[in-house]
């Protein structure tokens, strides 16, 4: 059993209240930070090697150090709690169980960045979590950890929670900022980056919930100590959302480096595939990352055991590898139709495209339509090449990464499961029977 830095006290009765959270060591990181200079706090986060937990994996400390600091201009820390990547449900868990952990991280982070007002942008569906956070924020104000002159340090901070309205695209940081300004969630062209012109055109850092929460254990133990956990450049612990056909789906905090095979099959974690079935494929980092068949998710192309780290999951690039992404780990058993699943994800991206860029607006529609016809037995061999071609033409031609997110799953599904797509064309009658599934590509244990 690995160390738990975020969720150690998650099952303590009343941990969502200030008093109990404080009794279990809560807000020590704020006390510590306020005795340091803001630059020293940034330095600790840099030393920790923490990489953004929202999906991109960009070093958090470096992102912080990019923030522009013009004289007399307010700057902001905005927490991205718009968790919407299919397969990912860790932030909802963290916020509803440990609201003070996020608030503590927001205070320390805001201090490091010199923000006097900070926002948590939470997806609108999670209004009940917004109420939990608002209650916890009120407690933090009452205890002197928010508001004027925090703990007599001279530093003041206001923290607010802001709900979205139901739009996956608002997880993209510039769309999130537009949304926070009361507009449609259309991503902005970059540059300028938010670090220079973000919320209200002022310097802004946008960080994922888990990244901000992780600042707390980093400050408590020191960046160097934190960096000792994990493997190589994948330092620390990470929350994984396990879902799909697993015996024990749920949220697991892992020290980065656990073998994928152990994560799936060990009783300590997911407990294997449900109903005694075989594993067919895994989408390891949220719906946007390439799907991998069983043999490539358990072992790299070189035959090395694959580990739950940024580097190991991406070993082999997109030819034989994938990405750690947001840690949304979707397992699919032997009865899963890859064509149907790919169509489902394409429908998602078509639905969620903001419509600003033609390649994405039109391309996602094409992908959904052509995949629908393949799944329903009306496709041709040419259609299989067509979706690969459309995906390629979206990729790199949009102002935000939703284009790539829509293209990658399609390209990977055809790359690894082409025979299954072809079977839908050559055997339309069989393929459209209820519950029908192609088993030609199945690797049995």
Partner 1 sequence: MEPTTTAAKPQFSPAAQAEIKRLLTHYPDDRKKSTLLPVLHIAQAEFGGWVSPEVQDLVAETLGLRPIEVYEVSTFYTMFNLKPVGKHVLEICRTGPCMLRGSDELTAHLERITGAKVGGNSPDGLFTLKEVECLAACGFAPVVQVREKYYESLDTEENVNAMLNELKSLVHRPILPWEENGLPTSLQNN
- Of residues 319 through 338, those in contact with partner 1 by CB under 8 A are 328, 330, 332, 336
Minimum Å gap between C-beta 87 and partner 1 is 5
Long-range contacts of residues 20-24, Cβ cutoff 8 Å, at least 24 apart: 21/98, 21/100, 21/101, 22/100, 22/143
Interface with partner 1 (CB under 8 A), residue total 59
Answer whether the bond into residue 269 is a cis peptide, omega within 30°. Answer: no
Of the residues 244, 285, 327, 359, which one makes contact with partner 1 according to CB under 8 A? 244
Minimum Å gap between C-beta 155 and partner 1 is 19
148: which 2 tokens? 């004027």
**CB distance 249 to 224 below 8 Å:** no
Show the binding pattern over residues 52-91: x = contacts partner 1 (CB under 8 A), - = does not. -------------------------------xxxxxxx-x
**CB distance 290 to 412 below 8 Å:** yes
Q: Is 241 in the site for partner 1 (CB under 8 A)?
A: yes
| Alpha helix positions (H), 246-303 | 260-265, 294-298
Considering the complex, state which of residue 299 and residue 372 has its C-beta at the smaller distance from partner 1.
372
Minimum Å gap between C-beta 426 and partner 1 is 25
Minimum Å gap between C-beta 353 and partner 1 is 12
Considering the complex, state which of residue 88 and residue 211 has its C-beta at the smaller distance from partner 1.
88
Minimum Å gap between C-beta 397 and partner 1 is 22
Q: How far apart are the C-alpha atoms of 366 and 290, rounded to whole Å?
A: 19
How do beta strands 230-231 and 234-235 pair? antiparallel
Of the residues 61, 105, 185, 403, which one makes contact with partner 1 according to CB under 8 A? 185
Of the residues 46, 75, 92, 306, which one makes contact with partner 1 according to CB under 8 A? 92
Candidates 332, 355, 445, 426; CA nearest to 384 is 426
Q: Is 128 in the site for partner 1 (CB under 8 A)?
A: yes
Of the residues 35, 116, 131, 382, which one makes contact with partner 1 according to CB under 8 A? 131
Minimum Å gap between C-beta 250 and partner 1 is 5
| Alpha helix positions (H), 222-291 | 223-227, 260-265
State the Cα torsion 248-252-258-260 to the nearest 10°.
Answer: 40
78: which 2 tokens? 């905005």
Of the residues 126, 258, 298, 324, which one makes contact with partner 1 according to CB under 8 A? 126
**CB distance 324 to 284 below 8 Å:** yes
Overall size of the chain counted in residues: 445
Minimum Å gap between C-beta 364 and partner 1 is 13
**CB distance 364 to 397 below 8 Å:** no
- Of residues 273 through 312, those in contact with partner 1 by CB under 8 A are 283, 287
Q: How far is CA 324 from CA 56, 92, 131, 177, 383, in A?
A: 9, 19, 31, 25, 30
Of the residues 8, 31, 43, 125, which one makes contact with partner 1 according to CB under 8 A? 125
Q: What is the DSSP string of 333-348?
A: ETT--HHHHHHHHHHH
**CB distance 325 to 85 below 8 Å:** yes
Residue whose entry in the numeric block shows the structure tokens 């050559």: 426
Considering the complex, state which of residue 8 and residue 125 has its C-beta at the smaller distance from partner 1.
125
Of the residues 166, 232, 317, 396, which one makes contact with partner 1 according to CB under 8 A? 166
- Of residues 342 through 361, those in contact with partner 1 by CB under 8 A are 344-345, 348, 351-352, 354
Residue whose entry in the numeric block shows the structure tokens 């991406």: 314
Minimum Å gap between C-beta 43 and partner 1 is 31
- Of residues 144 through 163, those in contact with partner 1 by CB under 8 A are 158, 160, 162-163
Residues found near partner 1 in the complex (CB under 8 A)? 83-89, 91-92, 96, 119, 123-129, 131-132, 158, 160, 162-168, 179-185, 200, 241-245, 249-251, 283, 287, 328, 330, 332, 336, 340-341, 344-345, 348, 351-352, 354
């Amino acid at each position: 059993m690995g160390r738990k830095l975020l969720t150690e006290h998650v099952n303590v009765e009343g941990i969502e209240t200030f008093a109990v959270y404080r009794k279990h060591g809560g807000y020590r990181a704020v006390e510590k930070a306020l005795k340091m200079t803001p630059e020293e706090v940034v330095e600790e986060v840099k030393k920790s090697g923490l990489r953004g937990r929202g999906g991109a994996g960009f070093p958090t400390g470096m992102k912080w150090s990019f923030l522009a600091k013009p004289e007399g201009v307010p700057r902001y820390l905005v927490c991205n709690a718009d968790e919407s990547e299919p397969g990912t449900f860790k932030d909802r868990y963290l916020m509803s169980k440990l609201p003070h952990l996020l608030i503590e991280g927001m205070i320390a982070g805001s201090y490091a960045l010199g923000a006097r007002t900070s926002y948590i942008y939470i997806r609108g569906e999670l209004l009940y979590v917004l109420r939990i956070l608002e209650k916890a924020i009120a407690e933090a104000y009452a205890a002197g950890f928010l508001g004027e002159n925090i703990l007599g340090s001279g530093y003041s901070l206001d923290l607010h929670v802001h709900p979205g309205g139901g739009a996956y695209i608002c997880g993209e940081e510039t769309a999130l900022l537009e949304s926070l300004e009361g507009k449609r969630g259309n991503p902005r062209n970059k540059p300028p980056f938010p670090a220079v012109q973000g919320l209200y055109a002022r310097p802004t850092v946008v960080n994922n919930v888990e990244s901000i929460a992780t600042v707390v254990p980093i400050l408590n133990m020191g960046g160097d100590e934190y960096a000792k956990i994990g493997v190589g450049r994948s330092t620390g612990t990470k929350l994984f959302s396990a879902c799909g056909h697993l015996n024990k789906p749920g949220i697991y905090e892992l020290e980065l480096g656990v073998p994928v095979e152990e994560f799936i099959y060990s009783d300590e974690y997911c407990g294997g595939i449900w109903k005694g079935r075989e594993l067919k494929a895994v989408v390891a980092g949220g719906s946007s990352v390439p799907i991998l068949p069983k043999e490539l998710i358990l072992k790299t192309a070189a035959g090395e055991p694959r580990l739950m780290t940024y580097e190991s999951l991406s070993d082999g690039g997109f030819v034989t590898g994938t990405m750690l992404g947001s840690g949304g780990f979707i397992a699919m058993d032997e009865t899963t139709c890859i064509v149907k699943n790919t169509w489902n994800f394409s429908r998602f991206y078509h639905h969620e495209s903001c419509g600003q860029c033609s390649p994405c607006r039109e391309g996602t529609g094409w992908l959904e339509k052509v995949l629908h016809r393949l799944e329903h037995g009306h496709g041709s061999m040419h259609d299989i090449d067509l979706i690969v071609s459309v995906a390629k033409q979206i990729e790199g031609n949009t102002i935000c990464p939703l284009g790539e997110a829509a293209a990658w799953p399609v390209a990977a599904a055809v790359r690894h499961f082409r025979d299954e797509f072809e079977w839908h064309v050559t055997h339309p009658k069989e393929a459209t029977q209820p519950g029908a599934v192609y088993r030609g590509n199945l690797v049995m244990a």
